[in-house]
Amino acid sequence: MALAQSVLEELRRVVGKEHVIDSSNDLRIFERDASIEGSAPDAVVLPANAAEVSAVIKIASKNRIPVVPRGAGTGLSGGAVTIRGGIALQVTRMRKILEIDPVAQTALVEPGVVNQELSLVAAAQRLFYAPDPSSQKACTLGGNAAENSGGPHCLYYGVTTNHVLGMEVVLADGSVHWVSGDAPDRIGLDLCGVLVGSEGTLCAITKIKVRLLRTPPSVATLLAAFPTIDAASQAVSAVIGHGIVPAALEMMDSVTVGAVEAHYHAGYPTDAGAVLLVEVDGIAESTLELMNAIRHVLAENHGYAMREAQTPAERDLLWAGRKGAIGALGRIKPNYYLHDGVVPRSRLPQILSAVGEIGVHYKLPVANVFHAGDGNLHPNILFDLRDRDVLPQVESAGEEMLRAVVELGGALSGEHGIGLEKSAFMPWVFSHDDLDAMRLVKNALDAHGIMNPGKIFPDPERKMPHLAGRTGLAIEAKWW
């Protein structure tokens, strides 16, 4: 349902006529994020500052219009999809780095700042921002905070919530608040901890204060090949079992390696069943010692063709292959459906075997590229969206993969969020009481339910997921 002209006029008075989009053709650009489901908003509003965000949300609250905060639209769980219509609150005009404090090692930024841009600017002070999603050249820090995004280097450095010191936020009534601050230990209720990762369901973020880190003096990056994905998985467990926590420990299977090498020509061995990309950093003596130890462990676990980057350019090329892997898979099929379940590292061989069997059962190619060090899977189900009959098969395969993750003691998401695609599965891991407690927080901060409705919690307005599957997990339908 289109917004009333009176509402559109109010919005134009707040942000300017050119910053309210309501043409049906233009709205199609905003109907999706990087997930597979789309729904167009009734309007897109592009505020320039916190005052405008507050005014827009007050208008929405008065008229009971849904508001969906949106950054770059790179999210993979449907968090930015406007499934109830309403306003897509596009924050990409708010893209200033307001302050970098080299003494306190902090930065104050607006939510539309692109992740990589912050590290590039901070590099002049020999600082960097640690959370590094694969989409870091495009994704925004506001979106990262909303989804509690991770990245390859979060194995050692931690995910977004570990680096956010405080935020300015606008709640569902339009009120503006600063939560938390500079103290390493937050006193009282950790409201910042509640809001980071809340996926736009509790607030819109208008400023973020983040922790920066000193650029390490030495970095070593190693590529190692393995005959099978099982062997690579065992090697991951062996590295961590020796008490070594690398800065990054990434895995790619043979399908991914073939696509990456064809695109990037980074020297990935295409005869391998899987490869690991391992990185350590610190002082030169420490990185040399750690990398030697890692080489030894990998060799004991069937690692071969080990190659260490000798120059920054070679390191960048290896990482370009890893971070561009999902895009490179377009050489195989034009579309993908990507999940990010997490399992204990010791269960990697079992879950990867299950993922492979599910792909074979549904006759769908599956490519695995993921954060092996912390057991954060990224199975990419490859398909062609022009074949409309294949989509139910893709969704069923993805559901079964998540069911297998849960059976093995895992979690539904490691960094992409629950959003739209996994909300129906929340009762697999949370009880009635758990979900009710979460809803109490939601209701306290958003009494009318206008902030990103239909996300995170099971939605009675949407169809039930398939309860029949090939894995053994019993699901109680009454939870829906």
Q: What is the CATH number of the domain that holds 11?
A: 3.30.43.10
Distance CA 451, CA 441 (A): 13
Q: Stretch 100-116: mean pLDDT, rounded?
A: 97
Distance CA 68, CA 80 (A): 6
Range of the domain at 173: 97-214
pLDDT of residue 479: 26
pLDDT at 464 over 80: no
Q: Based on the fold, state whether residues 126 and 232 are members of the same structural domain.
A: no
Here the CATH number for the domain that contains residue 111 is 3.30.465.10
454: left (phi over 0), alpha (psi -120 to 50) or beta: left
Q: Are 161 and 149 in contact (CB under 8 A)?
A: no
168: which strand partners?
A: 178, 207
Q: Are 451 and 201 in contact (CB under 8 A)?
A: yes
Q: Are 212 and 127 in contact (CB under 8 A)?
A: yes
Question: For 210-235, what is each residue's pLDDT tens digit?
Answer: 999 999 999 999 999 999 999 999 99
Here the CATH number for the domain that contains residue 281 is 3.30.70.2190
> What total of structural domains would you count in the chain?
4
pLDDT of residue 186: 67
Q: Based on the fold, state whether residues 350 and 473 are members of the same structural domain.
A: yes
pLDDT of residue 184: 59
Report which DSSP code applies to 215: P
Q: Based on the fold, state whether residues 234 and 246 are members of the same structural domain.
A: yes
Q: Based on the fold, state whether residues 64 and 135 are members of the same structural domain.
A: no
Of 288, 311, 328, the position where a domain reaches its end is 328
**Burial class of residue 232 (count of CB atoms within 10 Å of its CB; 0-12, 13-18, 19+):** buried
pLDDT of residue 170: 98
Mark 291-301 as b/e (b = at least 16 C-beta within 10 Å).
Answer: beebbebbeeb
| Geometric angle at alpha carbon 109, from 107 and 113, rounded to 5° | 120
Distance CA 16, CA 19 (A): 5
Q: Based on the fold, state whether residues 341 and 321 are members of the same structural domain.
A: no
Lowest mean pLDDT among 171-185, 310-324, 378-392, 456-470: 456-470
pLDDT at 319 over 70: yes
Q: Based on the fold, state whether residues 121 and 148 are members of the same structural domain.
A: yes
Distance CA 230, CA 57 (A): 50
Q: Based on the fold, state whether residues 468 and 456 are members of the same structural domain.
A: yes
Of 72, 90, 108, the position where a domain reaches its end is 90
pLDDT of residue 463: 58
Q: Are 118 and 146 in contact (CB under 8 A)?
A: no
Here the CATH number for the domain that contains residue 388 is 3.30.70.2740
Q: Coil, strand or helix: which one is 180?
A: strand
pLDDT at 324 over 90: yes
> What angle, rounded to 10 degrees, do the helices at 254-264 and 312-323 form?
120
Q: Based on the fold, state whether residues 188 and 250 are members of the same structural domain.
A: no
Of 300, 328, 356, the position where a domain reaches its end is 328
Distance CA 345, CA 430 (A): 22
Question: For 174-198, what is each residue's pLDDT tens digit?
Answer: 999 999 876 656 677 889 999 999 9
DSSP alpha helix (H) spans, 16-114:
24-27, 50-63
pLDDT of residue 180: 87
Q: Stretch 325-332: mean pLDDT, rounded?
A: 94
> What angle, rounded to 10 degrees, do the helices at 348-361 and 391-407 form?
160
Q: In terms of residues, how long is the chain?
A: 480
Q: Based on the fold, state whether residues 159 and 203 are members of the same structural domain.
A: yes
Six token digits for residue 197: 């990762």
DSSP codes joined into one string, 309-376: --SHHHHHHHHHHHHTHHHHGGGT-SEEEE---B--GGGHHHHHHHHHHHHHHTT--EEEEEBGGGTB
**Burial class of residue 206 (count of CB atoms within 10 Å of its CB; 0-12, 13-18, 19+):** buried
pLDDT at 323 over 90: yes
Neighbours of 351 (CB within 10 A): 24
Q: Based on the fold, state whether residues 363 and 466 are members of the same structural domain.
A: yes
Residue 470: pLDDT band with limits 50, 70, 90 = very low
Q: Are 200 and 146 in contact (CB under 8 A)?
A: yes
pLDDT of residue 388: 83
Six token digits for residue 200: 């736009």
Q: Based on the fold, state whether residues 107 and 44 are members of the same structural domain.
A: no
Q: Based on the fold, state whether residues 435 and 339 are members of the same structural domain.
A: yes
